[in-house]
Structure 1
Amino acid sequence: MRIATGTLSGIHDAKAGLDEFKGIPYAAPPVGALRWKPPQPVASWDGARRADHFAARCMQRPLYGDMVFRSAGMSEDCLYLNVWTPAQRKAGKLPVLVYFYGGSLLAGDGSEPRYDGASLAQRGIVTVTVNYRLDVFGLLALPALAAESPRHAAGNYSLLDMTAALRWVRNNIAAFGGDPAQVTVGGESAGSMAVSALMASPLSKDLMQRAIGESGAVLGNLKPEPLALAEQRGENFMRKLGARSLAELRAMPAADLLKALGTSDSDSFNPTVDGYFLPRSPEAIYAAGAQAHIPLLVGSNSQEGYWKSLLDDQAPTPANYRAVLQRQFGAQANEALKLYPGNSEAEVKASGTALSGDQFIAFATWRWMDWQRRTGKAPVYYYYFEQPRPAKRDGSAGPDAGAVHSGEIEYALGNLDGNHVYAWTATDHRVSNVMEGYWANFIKTGDPNGPGLPRWPAVAPKDGGLLRQAIGADTRGFIDRNTARYEFLQHFEPDAHL
C-alpha cells in the first residue's frame, strides 16, 4: 500500500474479506518542542512500514473503568490512526467513516474493541479510528503559548489533531479504496462534541460531507470556555507544578504532568474559543449558519443520567425531589416541576433521570440538532436510543434500567460480539442490525433509510413537537415534545464542560 509518506504493510483478513492497517502516523510525534504545538507533518520513510498493530494510546489518567485497550502501551508519541477496508475494492470509490472516541477529551483510544471498524467495513465502508491528544496535552492554554503562536491562539490541540487526521484522510484515503468526497465524521460523547466543533471550525468544516453525533455537542451547557479563562486555568496548573517558564513545562516528563492532575476529572481542561480553530463561539457560528451545511444524524440515550445522582442517593420522595429543584432553580422551581414532574416515587425516578441526563448531555445534543435544522440547509435525523444493555455474563449485575451513556456504541458500530461483559440476546443483535444499518446507509448516502428498516423521517415540526426516531426493541418514529424542557434549561446554563 502506497500513501503520500511511504509504503505500508498491513494485515489481510481472508475470513472477513478485509485489509487492516493499524498505527499509521498522520502527524509528527508531538514531543519535546512540539508539545502544545499544532500537529506538524509526518516525515516520509523508506521501505515498507509495518502497519499491523495498534500504536500507543495518548497520555491519559485511568479515569473510566469501561475502557478496554488493544494499544501498545501509552506515550506522547500517539498521533496515529487505523483503517479497515474491504479487500476487494476500487481506488477512490467507497464511502468513508472517520470516528472519534469518547472519554471527556481526557481518555480513550482508537484501539478499543467497541470502535472496531471491521463490521462497517464489511458493509462496504472504509472505516478510520483516530488517536488525538488528551487532557493537559491536548487542551492546555497559556499566555506563553498564545504569544508564540502566529495566530495568537492556545489550546484545542485535540481538535487540531482531528483536523490534521481529516486532512490526511482527504489526501490518502483513495489508496485504501475510500472516496475523499464521501467522508462522514462521527463520534460519541467527547467524540460527538468534537464533531459539532469540527462542523463549526473554518479549518475543518470543508473536510466532511456528513456527520454523526452520538450524545454530545459544544453548545448549550457544554460550550467552550473563553481563552482568558483557559489561560488562567493553565497558569494555575503551571504554578502547581512549580514551572517558571513554558520551556521548563515542556521539559517535564509526561508522567509528572499526569501525576499532578490527580485522580479526579473535576478540574480538567476544556475546549476554548481560541480565535483560530474557533474564531467565535459555536453558538454564534451555528446561529449565523456559518457551520458545515451537511446532513447530520444525531441523538442521545434514554438514560444519559440517573435520578440517584440528581438526588445524591437520597430517597426518591416528592419532598426530596422538590428540595433539589428548589436549590437548583430557585424561583423557577415550580416551572421546572411542570416540565419534570415529581408527584410520586415513579415520577421522581423518571423525571430525575430525564433531568439528570438533560443537564449532563442531552440538552447540548438537542441544541446542536436544533441549530442545524434551523440554519444548516441539509436534512437532520434525530434519534432516541432506548435499548438497555442486558445482564452481565458473570451475574454481577442485571439489565440496565435504560440506555446508559455510551451504551449505544457497540449497537451502532456492529460490535456487540467484541464486548464480552454482557450476555447479549437475540433482541440486542436485532437492534444492532437495525441501528448499524441506519448508520451504514447514512454514511453512504446522507439518508439512514433503506430496505428492511423502519422508516426514519428527517426531523421536522409536527403536531406541536418534532419528528424523532426511537431505536430499540420497538424501533419507530414518534413526536418528541421535549423542546420546552430544553428551552427552560437554556436559561440556566452553568459554566459546565464535559
Structure 2
Amino acid sequence: MWKARRVRRAFCFLDVRLKQSAQDQENDMLRTLAAAACALLMAGQAQAAGLAQARVAQGLLSAGPVEQGVTVFKGVPFAAPPVGPLRWRAPQAAAAWSGVRPADRFGANCMQKPIEGALGPWTPEYLAHGDISEDCLYLNVWTPAEGLGAKLPVMVWIPGGGFNQGSGSVPIYDGAGLARRGVVVVTVNYRLNAFGFMAHPQLTAEGQGASGNYGLQDQIAALQWVQANIAAFGGDPARVTVAGQSAGAASVHALLAAPAAKGLFHQAIAQSGSGMGSGGTPLAKAEQDGVRFAEGLGARTLAELRALPADKVLETPSGMRFAPIIDGRTVPADPTRPGNAVSDVPLLTGLTADESSGMNRSYGKSTPAELQTRLQTGFGALARQAGAIYRASSDADAGEASKRLSRDRGLAATWLWAQSRLQTSRQPVYAYLWTHVEPGPEEARYGAFHSSEMPYVFQTLAASPERPFTQEDRRISDQMAAYWANFIAKGDPNGQGLPTWPKVRAGSPVIMELGARPAPRPVLEPETLKLFQAYAEAGGGLSLF
C-alpha cells in the first residue's frame, strides 16, 4: 500500500516529461490527460482518507492524518528550488501545481554535513535527519484549527545550528504541543553555510550593490508566504511571532533590523539570545572571504561557481565561517545594536545557565592560576576588582568560579542589551535565565546547556525516549509551553496559574528564572553587575558564550 502511494505520487508530481517528436500535438494531449487524471486521483484519495486540505497561492495541499486534534502539513514549498542559475540569488516564487499536492512528509534539509549519533550534550533529537539537498526551501505547519476564520496566533520558528546545521524538521521542533495550546506553528528551512551566506564581488555587482544573506532572504520569503497563506490553516496574519534559538535568535535580531521584514511579524522571541556580541560580517570582509573560497574551489566566474556540484561547495576550508552580513540592504547596520532595529515589537529573550558547556571542553575546569590569567586577560585594568569576586583556593573552587564567570557574563550581556533597547523602544522585553538541568548523558558536566530549554517549550520530551524524564520535567514543560503560548497570543507571557513574569524595567536589575521554581531574581549581585557595567563602559565586549 505504501509503495503504491509512492508510485502514484511520483507519477503525479515528478512532472511527467514526454520526449519531443513529430507527434508533439499528441504528446501535449497526453500531458493534459495525465494532469487531469492526477488531479482526480489525488483529490479522490485525500477525500477518501478524510485528510485535511488547505488551498495556498500555489495550489491545494493535503495533510497527513489528524493526530490528537492537530493537523500537520509537511514539506510545503515557499520558494523555488535555489539550484542551478538560482544558486546565490534571492529566493524566487514557488511554482504552482495542479491537483492536490500531498504534504505528509518533510522536505529535504538544506545542504549541511550530516552528524551521526550525538554531538556533546546534543543527542539525536536535537539534530537534523533525512535527505540533504539544495532543493530545500520548504516549511511545515501544525494547526489545531478546523478551517478558515479561526484567526489563531502564529509562531514562525527559525532553526539554530550556527548557520551551518539545522532544519525545520528537527524532532524537538515538532509543533504539535504548542498547537494543542491554540498556536499555529510554522517551522522553516533556509540556506546555510556558503549556500546561504557567501558574498563575492561578482555577486555584489550582479546584485546591484549587495550579496550574501541569501539565508536571511529565505526567512523573509517564508514570512511573506505566511502573510499570504496562513489564513488557510486557521492562522491570523496580523498575529505572527517570529522566533528562534541560537543562530535562529541571531536571525530574529537580523530580521528586526531588516527593512524588507518590517510588517511581516508582530512579536519576537530570541532564545540564546540577545547580547550575543556578534553583529555580522562587514560586506567588504565577506567579499574577501568569498574570493578566497572561490579560488580554493578553482572557480573564477559565477558561472563556474554555480556549475560546481553541491557537495564540492559544502567543503568549507578550515577557519572560514559563513554567517549574516552587514550588506547595506538586507541588513543595513549591526543588528545587535537595539537602535538599529526597524521593527519595534514585544520581545521575549533569555539564556541558559550553562551556555558554553557543550562548546568548551574545559568548561568548569580550571586551576586558581588559570582563573587569574583569564581574569587578567579578560578584564585588564579591572582584573583586581574581578579577582575579588571570582576567588579560588583550589581547583574545584576555580572550576566553579570559572562557570559562574561565564554565566554572569551572559546575564550582564542580556540585561545591558535590554537596558539599551528600552532607550529606543516602546515595546516590552521579557528576559529569562533557564536553570533546569535536562536529565541525560553527563548531565552534571553539561548542566543547563545551550538549547536545553527547547524540548520543554515545544513539549517534545517524548522525542528523547532515552532521557529519564520524570513527572517534574513534564510539569516544567507544561509551564514553559504556557508562558510561550501566552506570549505568542498576546505579547505577554503571563497568564492564569503562572508565577508572575515581570517585564524588564529601566534601572531594575531583575530577570525571570525559569525551571523547577519560576520566580523573578536579581540579574547579578550588585558588585558583580557594577564590574560588568564598568567593563562595558570601558569598551569591553560582552557575549553569551
Correspondence 1:160-239 to 2 at 5 A:
160-217=217-274, 221-239=277-295
- 2:134 match: 76
Post-superposition Cα deviations, 1:339-383, rounded to whole Å, max 9, x if no partner, equal: 544455454333312434566x66654454333333221111110
- 2:434 match: 385
- 1:473 match: 516
- 1:245 match: 301
- 1:409 match: 454
What's the secondary structure of 1:456's corresponding residue?
coil
Correspondence 1:80-159 to 2 at 5 A:
80-91=138-149, 93-150=151-208, 152-159=209-216
How big is the shift at 1:256?
A: 0.8
Ranges in structure 2 where 5+ consecutive residues have no aligned partner: 1-53
- 2:313 match: 257
CA distance in 2, matches of 1:376, 1:313: 36
Q: Percent identity?
A: 44
Q: In 2, are the aligned partners of 1:220 and 1:367 still within 8 Å (CA)?
A: no
How big is the shift at 1:335?
A: 3.9
Q: In 2, are the aligned partners of 1:222 and 1:497 still within 8 Å (CA)?
A: no
- 1:450 match: 495
- 1:273 match: 326
Q: In 1, are the aligned partners of 2:109 and 2:189 still within 8 Å (CA)?
A: yes
What's the secondary structure of 2:478's corresponding residue?
helix
Q: In 2, are the aligned partners of 1:306 and 1:357 still within 8 Å (CA)?
A: no
- 1:43 match: 95
What's the secondary structure of 1:375's corresponding residue?
coil
Q: Which moved more, 1:79-88 or 1:55-64?
A: 55-64
1:302 is aligned to 2:358: no
Match for 1:493: what amino acid? G
Q: 1:101 to 1:147 in 2, by over 3 A?
A: same
Q: In 1, are the aligned partners of 2:365 and 2:402 still within 8 Å (CA)?
A: no
- 2:533 match: 487
How big is the shift at 1:440?
A: 0.5
Match for 1:448: what amino acid? P
Match for 1:316: what amino acid? S
1:434 is aligned to 2:479: yes
Q: TM-score normalised to the size of structure 1?
A: 0.90
Post-superposition Cα deviations, 1:151-173, rounded to whole Å, max 9, x if no partner, equal: x1111111111011000001100
Q: Determine which structure has more spread, i.e. the larger CA radius of gyration.
A: 2
Q: Which of the residues 75, 80, 84 maps onto 1:32? A: 84
CA distance in 2, matches of 1:483, 1:245: 52
CA distance in 1, matches of 2:321, 2:389: 32
- 2:424 match: 375
- 2:114 match: 62
Match for 1:292: what amino acid? S
1:323 is aligned to 2:323: no
Correspondence 1:3-14 to 2 at 5 A:
3-13=56-66
Match for 2:403: what amino acid? T
Q: 1:342 to 1:246 in 2, by over 3 A?
A: farther
Match for 2:324: what amino acid? P
How big is the shift at 1:487?
A: 3.5
CA distance in 2, matches of 1:253, 1:322: 50
Q: TM-score normalised to the size of structure 2?
A: 0.82
CA distance in 2, matches of 1:255, 1:4: 33
Q: Which of the residues 441, 444, 467 maps onto 1:422? A: 467
Q: In 2, are the aligned partners of 1:97 and 1:125 still within 8 Å (CA)?
A: yes
Match for 2:328: what amino acid? G
CA distance in 2, matches of 1:485, 1:270: 31
Aligned residues between the structures: 481
What's the secondary structure of 2:449's corresponding residue?
coil
What's the secondary structure of 2:509's corresponding residue?
strand
Post-superposition Cα deviations, 1:104-157, rounded to whole Å, max 9, x if no partner, equal: 01100111111110000011110000000000101101111100013x111111
What's the secondary structure of 1:381's corresponding residue?
strand
How big is the shift at 1:332?
A: 3.9
